[in-house]
Amino acid sequence: MTYLEKQSNPLDPVHFRGNLQADYLYTSGAAGDKFFKHIMENDSFLASECEECGTVFCPPRLYCEDCFVEIPDEKWKEVPAKGTVRLFTTAMLNTFGEPLEVPKIIGLIDIEGTDSSMLGILKTKDQKQDLTGITVEAVFRPTQEREGTLKDILYFNESG
Amino acid sequence: MNRKVCIVGVGHTNFNSMTPDVSWKEFMYDACKKAYFDAGINPRKDVDSFITCAEDYWEGFGIFDEFVPDQIGATLRPCCTVCGDGIQGMANAYMQIMTGLMDTVAVEAHSKVSDLLTYGDVVLHAMDPLFEKPVSGPVERERYAGSPSYPDNNPKPLVGSTDEKERVHPYFLAGLEMQHYLRSAKVTEEQCASVAVKNKKNAFLNPYAINQADLSSEDVMSSEYLFNPLKRLDISPLVDGAICFVLAEESVAKKLGIEPIYLNGFGYSSETPWLSTRGMDAGYARQAVNMATKMAKLKDPKKALDVVEVDDRFSYKELQHIEALGLAGPGEAAQLLEEGELYKDGSLPTNLSGGSMGVGNCLEATGLQRSLEIITQLRGLAGKRQVTDAETGLAQSWRGIPSGTGAVAIFSRNPEVKT
Ligand SMILES: [Zn+2]
């Protein structure tokens, strides 16, 4: 630093701990609402398809981000809650940078019948090294325990 | 109207893993004071407008703009915050000057990340709360709704309130993207490791780079997998640092008797935030460089650029970015590195400053740190890492996980880039 008198005793600097009371309500929106209400009752997903470019979004959206047009109700469809693992990683650290007690395998899953992917926790039958290309299916909570959030999907399990 | 914008002053603090002796305000003051001294100006009368680059969650308090003016000399003057990387702030300064309304504009960006005790969670907070963040695990505190009058289950929590130590660090996204890059570019983990080796070695020749190390790629390869294939030494360390640039119209530089470094072109671009449909090939860098080279009328960037700084927050990112910038064909950046082309005496000297690997990841100041190196090189003041007769350089930045935003700036010693 450029001050004439610099601190040289490391015990001198004073710190205060503080935090932010920052809690929110996250509105799921018109499209998200339908999606989450759907998975409360069904073991499948909803998707929406752009009329102009044909892109199928899952999670579904009210509008296409490429064409910037609205997607009408009749272009919504049900798709199976399964897909193909495109990418995966084994996460070893928690948000504090400490080792996770149980490492988590997270995959980017291309959802069947759509042009979209979802992040999900992966479970496999055996200890595989390479999970690329395997087919996985969402495992949901029992219907009566669902509450219409993403945590209704417990994980994605290898199919078959 | 033939206005040209140039850099007439630069200043920066020391970069360090922590800076407990100064407040963030004193830290910013230090960088700005040096930049104004470098330009030989008094900000209280010579600077027409002030821009800082910051984001409330990095800083730890709300409406950051309001906390800015005093430490940068901007009280009761036009002042605003750009919520983005320093190069985006510089682009805004350029545009202000080109309107003719301002002649001299100061741009500041900083990281005081050592003040942030929950970095991983703040980054996680940048992921979509409904569709993407929950994959990381439990998010909320036990009683998460601010008012005690909210019962615990209403509004319902997004994810269960089990042990918060189960929340996955958001860098898992870099692990996924690295796997994608390795496959699509047909590059090996060893080749990515060589980036960390090169940049940490470059840091030895940069007096302000504190993360210098003489490593072998075996050292990087044998560091533990944190987000397979991403290893501990593939990840740049966090660092504190503040940087300020003074930009001015060419005539101001002449009046000040300063040899100007011109900002000839810039570009910035943001991908969709939805990981669900987002590309993984740094499309933001491709877009940004197209905009910047067009503006700078740079036909053959590879030939014209004498020195380059690209974002290397994760080792693979340097190779991915070089390719996205069109400076190497798909999958060819690793080859350039192996052939020595990315070193000081190669055809495309890259990250001679040490980059994020050697200097450290300084959040929104990253773009200015990269630009600082280019300006230092073009001024001929880079000492032992000086590229001979450097005339034109490019700096590129990325806002880090989980963002899809990047920016590019092209500087030269000449009002028009020599091609
Ligand atoms: Zn469309």
As a whole number, the mean pLDDT across chain B is: 94
Whether residue A18 lies inside any domain: the answer is: no
Q: So what's the pLDDT on residue B151?
A: 61
Bridge partners, B309 (sequence order): B395
Q: So what's the pLDDT on residue B38?
A: 98
Q: So what's the pLDDT on residue B156?
A: 59
- What's the CA gap between B131 and B142, in Å, rounded? 21
**Interhelix angle B315-324/B283-295, nearest 10 degrees:** 50
Whether residue A50 lies inside any domain: the answer is: yes
Flag residues of chain A having pLDDT under 70. 1-3
Query: From the CA of B3, how far away is ligand 1's center (Å)?
Result: 41
Reported as a single tens digit per residue, the pLDDT across B254-288 is: 999 999 999 999 999 999 999 999 999 999 999 99
Find chain B residues with C-beta within 8 A of A13's C-beta. 20-21
What's the Cα-to-Cα distance from A121 to each of A96, A153, B165, rounded to whole Å? 20, 9, 17
CA A43 to chain CA centroid, nearest Å: 17
Mean predicted confidence (pLDDT) in B195-215: 97
Q: What is the 3-state secondary structure (H, E, C) of chain B?
A: CCCCEEEEEEEECCCECCCCCCCHHHHHHHHHHHHHHHHCCCHHHHCCEEEEECCHHHHCCCCHHHHCHHHHCCCCCCEEEECCCHHHHHHHHHHHHHCCCCCEEEEEEEECHHHCCCHHHHHHCCCCCCCCHHHHCCCCCCCCCCCCCCCCCCCCCCCCCCCHHHCECCCHHHHHHHHHHHHHCCCCHHHHHHHHHHHHHHHHHCCCCCCCCCCCHHHHHCCCEEECCEEHHHECCECEEEEEEEEEEHHHHHHHCCCCEEEEEEEEEECCCCCCCCCCCCHHHHHHHHHHHHHCCCCCHHHHCCEEECCCCEHHHHHHHHHHCCCCCCCCHHHHHHCCCCCCCCCCCECCCCHHHHCCECHHHHHHHHHHHHHHHHCCCCHHHCCCCCCEEEEEEECCCCCCEEEEEEEECCCCCCC
ipTM of the complex in this document: 0.95
Contact residues for B5 (Cβ-Cβ < 8 A; gap 6+): B93, B94, B97, B98, B247, B248, B249, B250, B262, B263
Mean predicted confidence (pLDDT) in B387-397: 98
Q: So what's the pLDDT on residue B191?
A: 98
pLDDT band at B395 (very low <50, low <70, confident <90, very high): very high
Inter-chain CB proximity B228 and A149 less than 8 Å: no
Q: Does B18 touch chain A (CB under 8 A)?
A: no
Whether residue A17 lies inside any domain: the answer is: no
Domains in chain B (CATH in brackets) are 5-114+238-412 (3.40.47.10)
Reported as a single tens digit per residue, the pLDDT across B82-99 is: 999 999 999 999 999 999
Distance from CA of A136 to the nearest CA of B (A): 16
Q: So what's the pLDDT on residue A1?
A: 45
Whether residue A51 lies inside any domain: the answer is: yes
Contact A75, A62 (CB under 8 A): no
Mean predicted confidence (pLDDT) in B231-252: 98
Query: From the CA of A49, how far away is ligand 1's center (Å)?
Result: 8
Q: Is the pTM of this model over 0.90?
A: yes
- Bridging pattern class, strands A153-158 and A117-123: parallel
Say how many domains are in chain A. Answer: 1
Which residue is associated with the tokens 């060819």? B332
CA A112 to chain CA centroid, nearest Å: 16
Find chain A residues with C-beta within 8 A of B14's C-beta. 1
Reported as a single tens digit per residue, the pLDDT across B103-115 is: 999 999 999 999 9
Query: From the CA of B90, how far away is ligand 1's center (Å)?
Result: 34
- Residues spanned by the domain of A125: 29-158
Contact residues for A28 (Cβ-Cβ < 8 A; gap 6+): A35, A36, B130
Reported as a single tens digit per residue, the pLDDT across B12-66 is: 999 999 999 999 999 999 999 999 999 999 999 999 999 999 999 999 988 999 9
Instruction: Tell whether the model's pLDDT for residue B163 goes beyond 80.
Output: no
Whether residue A24 lies inside any domain: the answer is: no
Whether residue A61 lies inside any domain: the answer is: yes
> Among B263, B268, B240, B248, which Cα is nearest to B35's?
B248
Q: So what's the pLDDT on residue B139?
A: 60
Tokens of B175: 């692990």
Taking CA atoms, what residue in A is nearest to B129?
Answer: A26
Instruction: Tell whether the model's pLDDT for residue B381 goes beyond 60.
Output: yes
Find chain A residues with C-beta within 8 A of B275's C-beta. 108, 117, 119
Tokens of B152: 């615990």
Taking CA atoms, what residue in A is nearest to B272?
Answer: A65
Whether residue A56 lies inside any domain: the answer is: yes
Mean predicted confidence (pLDDT) in B363-379: 98
pLDDT band at B137 (very low <50, low <70, confident <90, very high): confident
Contact residues for B245 (Cβ-Cβ < 8 A; gap 6+): B7, B9, B10, B35, B90, B93, B106, B107, B108, B368, B371, B372, B375
Find chain B residues with C-beta within 8 A of A7's C-beta. 21
